[in-house]
Amino acid sequence: DVKVTQSSRYLVKRTGEKVFLECVQDMDHENMFWYRQDPGLGLRLIYFSYDVKMKEKGDIPEGYSVSREKKERFSLILESASTNQTSMYLCASKKEYSNQPQHFGDGTRLSIL
C-alpha cells in the first residue's frame, strides 16, 4: 500500500514566520504535488515536481516555494506566512507516465495567527 506521510497534522504559526511543511512517500514515485483545500474552492495545486530537483508552478504558487532534494521527500515552504495562507495542505504522489491515481497524505491543518 502507498504511504504518503505529512509531518504534522496541525500547526499554528505567526504572521511573518517561515514555515516548512514536509511530505514523505514510500513508493518510489517520481511525481509529487502540494495542494491546498479551502471550503467551496476544492483542491488547488500550489507546486508539483516531476522528479528530484525538478519543480513546476501550479495554479497558486504565490507566497510559496518547494524543495525536492531526495525522491521520497517534497517540502513546501511559506517564505513569510500570512493569515490568508491559513488552510488545509495536502501532499500527493504518483508514478510517472501512468494513469495510476495520485495518493494523498492526511493533510496538515495550518493556522497563521
Partner 1 sequence: DQQVKQNSPSLSVQEGRISILNCDYTNSMFDYFLWYKKYPAEGPTFLISISSIKDKNEDGRFTVFLNKSAKHLSLHIVPSQPGDSAVYFCAASLFTGKLIFGQGTTLQVKP
Asked if residue 71 binds partner 1 (CB under 8 A), the reply is no
Asked if residue 106 binds partner 1 (CB under 8 A), the reply is yes
Radius of gyration of the chain (CA): 13
Answer yes or no: are the C-beta atoms of 87 and 38 closer than 8 Å.
Answer: yes
Three-state DSSP class for residue 113: coil
Asked if residue 105 binds partner 1 (CB under 8 A), the reply is yes
The CA distance from 37 to 43, in Å, is: 5
Query: Which residues within the stretch 2-41 sit at the binding site for partner 1 (CB under 8 A)?
Result: 4, 9, 31, 33, 35, 40-41
Q: Which of 8, 57, 58, 73 binds partner 1 (CB under 8 A)?
A: 58
Residue 38's CB is within 10 A of a number of other CB atoms, namely 12
Answer yes or no: are the C-beta atoms of 81 and 112 closer than 8 Å.
Answer: yes
Asked if residue 84 binds partner 1 (CB under 8 A), the reply is no
Q: Which of 27, 43, 52, 60 binds partner 1 (CB under 8 A)?
A: 43
Three-state DSSP class for residue 83: helix
The footprint of partner 1 (CB under 8 A) covers 4, 9, 31, 33, 35, 40-45, 48, 58, 90, 92, 94, 96-97, 99, 101-107, 109
